[in-house]
Amino acid sequence: VQLVESGGGFVKPGGSLRLSCTVSGFSSSYIGWLRQAPGKERGGVAAIRTGLVSTAYYADSVKGRFTVSLDNAKNTAYLQMNKLKPDDTAMYYCAAGLLRYGRWFSPDEYRYWGQGTQVTVS
């Protein structure tokens, strides 16, 4: 099982970035994006349920600014981040799992993780 992330970097406030996560070796019900800032706990940013009809979930702090999407043909999930703020600065991780308890925002629900990609807004 492998999750490979890309797309992080430096951006000025108000700018945009798109993160990508390619999943191989595992058929997951959900792909989540979680982030962790220095001194803070890792928490969910967005998630998407895979399948014929995808359902997306967002943290309140990113609603209207971030969009999660899925390209089934490429086994790749994306997180489009617009109107970025300094508070969005964190290490971003994609993760895959079945979400036993349906808590898409909880790191404990995910079994497989990407290596993380740093996003810095300054």
Q: What is the pLDDT of residue 41?
A: 96
pLDDT band at 98 (very low <50, low <70, confident <90, very high): confident
List of residues 6+ apart from 15 with CB closer than 8 A? 84, 121
- End-to-end Cα distance, the chain: 34
Mean pLDDT along residues 77-88: 97
Strand partners, 31: 48, 96
Distance CA 51, CA 86 (A): 34
User: 20-58, pLDDT tens digit by residue?
Assistant: 999 988 777 899 999 999 999 999 999 999 877 789 999
Query: Do residues 23 and 77 lie in contact, with contact meaning Cβ atoms separated by under 8 Å?
Result: yes
Q: What is the pLDDT of residue 13?
A: 98
